[in-house]
Structure 1
Amino acid sequence: MSAEFGGRTGRQGKISQWLRGRRPKEAADDGGREALLLAAAGAGLPLAPAAHPAPGYRCSCDRVGCPTPARHPVSFAWQTQSTTDHAQIERWARHQPQANFITATGMVHDVLDVPLEAGQEALDQLLGSGVDVGPVAVSDDGRMFFFTLTRGTPEDEDEWWPCELDCHPETMDEHPGLRWHCRGSYVLVPPARLPGDDGRTVHWLRGPEHPLPDPLTLLEALTDACARHAGQETDQAGAGWPLRH
């Protein structure tokens, strides 16, 4: 009996040492990550596991020279895999502790994805005007995500209307300004880590507790801000070249 007790004490001692050896930030991050993912799912955002950063600005996937490191789903079946089921998300989060997560758009919500400076300008304008903006996330690679209700599930399929702003994972480079993620697209959902050693993340600026707004209530302000942002970039690029007389 004493030997059994001693064995338990030894095991408990090792567990205690392990717990004491963990940094407080790590312990907080583990619980905080899961809570944030469940909050997003609770707001109706369907989630699926995604790749995560690997050393040297690489991706955890097996693809050599991955073009979107740590920014894509793990499974090709991400659209059918995406779920709001808390038990499933808890299993994924605990069994894949390093994984990022994506949220599939065009089912419950869309995402209006804009350059960070344009997004901040539009956000200030919208909030100043009393518009219900909804959840907003910031990606430290220079983008801002406005989460909205989707236009992707009309009662009558004949009422579905494509938009020239529609963006899919394989066409994002064609949309440097405003990107409308709807059917067949996704974005990283906070909390997510981006490649590199500089600690860049995707994080909430306004959390998922804010109701999803109609995208058309945000579209004009975002479009105008993106146009001004693009004009400023053009002016700055042109300023580097002397004018010929």
Structure 2
Amino acid sequence: MEKTIAGPEAAHIPKQRGDSLPEAAVRYAEERHWDVFPGTWLEAVDGVHRCSCGQADCPAPGAHPAQDDWATQATGSATVARRMWSTQPTASILLPTGRTFDAIDVPETAGFLALARMERMELTLGPVTLTPDRRMQFFVLPGASAKVPDLVRNLGWSLSSLDLVTLGEGAYVAAPPTRYGSRGAVQWACRPTPANRWLPDAEELISPLAYACGRDR
């Protein structure tokens, strides 16, 4: 069963599983062997959802690291993840990049355009997230951060001219069903399945992604 998310490109997003945040965090560690760590969470203040960090102008309310040493706290153990979320079950689920995967981050409009092109090219995709702030993140093999600038340049583009960012070591992505303030929850545009356990290399996806970002300028 599918539900449709409106956008400039018609996009069919798989129906999301109804896991709670703790259940999803444990499943990512247990089934995908992804490192996970709890981030901030949303708190209702006078009927308004605010970030637990306390900043009224927080750019990612409820969806960023709660501590500076988050990289050392990330765990691939389902047991440890279960214990972490038992103390704060509403904490966001954050996945460090640069370990089991990197992520190529593009605008939602470019992401949907690239997905349609990748389907025509019969490319094998890894998981892809869709965030409430209208970004899409394509999971690829680690090491993409070092490769992408040259790959984009070889395609005739300047990376600085494209709204395309590679997230590697020292960065992270928010995983479903993490919520961003009142904007909604992170969803899977391409959810993790046994078929996409083996991730593509950035080189396989960069052409349609760069083309889509160039069109989206």
Structure 1 and Structure 2 fold alike (TM over 0.5):
yes
Match of 1:97? 89
After superposition, what is the alpha-carbon deviation per residue over 1:105-127, rounded to whole angstroms, capped at 9, x for unaligned? Answer: 11111011111111011011112
Bigger helix share: 1
Kindly report which structure 2 residues correspond to 1:1-245, keeping only aligned pairs within 5 A, or say none. 31-41=19-29, 42-55=31-44, 56-63=48-55, 65-151=57-143, 161=146, 164=149, 177-196=163-182, 200-209=184-193, 210-211=196-197, 212-230=199-217
Change (3 A) 1:216 1:39: farther
* Structure 2 spans left out of the alignment, 5+ residues: 1-16, 151-159
SS at 2:186 equivalent: strand
After superposition, what is the alpha-carbon deviation per residue over 1:71-99, rounded to whole angstroms, capped at 9, x for unaligned? Answer: 21112111111111000111122221111
Contact 2:60–2:180 (8 Å) recurs in 1: no
> In 1, Cα distance between the equivalents of 2:161 and 2:79?
36
Give me the CA root mean square deviation.
2.5
> In 2, Cα distance between the equivalents of 1:215 and 1:146?
9
After superposition, what is the alpha-carbon deviation per residue over 1:22-60, rounded to whole angstroms, capped at 9, x for unaligned? Answer: xxxxxx95x543343233223132111111223335211
> In 2, Cα distance between the equivalents of 1:175 and 1:51?
32
> In 2, Cα distance between the equivalents of 1:39 and 1:218?
27
> In 2, Cα distance between the equivalents of 1:123 and 1:82?
30
What is the one-letter code of the residue matched to 1:180? T
Higher relative contact order (CA 8 A, sep 6+): 2
Normalising by structure 1, what TM-score?
0.68
Change (3 A) 1:33 1:62: closer
* Structure 1 spans left out of the alignment, 5+ residues: 1-27, 153-159, 166-173, 231-245
> In 2, Cα distance between the equivalents of 1:143 and 1:102?
16
> In 1, Cα distance between the equivalents of 2:20 and 2:80?
17
Q: 4+ runs of 1 displaced by more than 6 Å?
A: none
Match of 1:155? none
Percent sequence identity over aligned pairs? 30
Contact 2:94–2:174 (8 Å) recurs in 1: yes
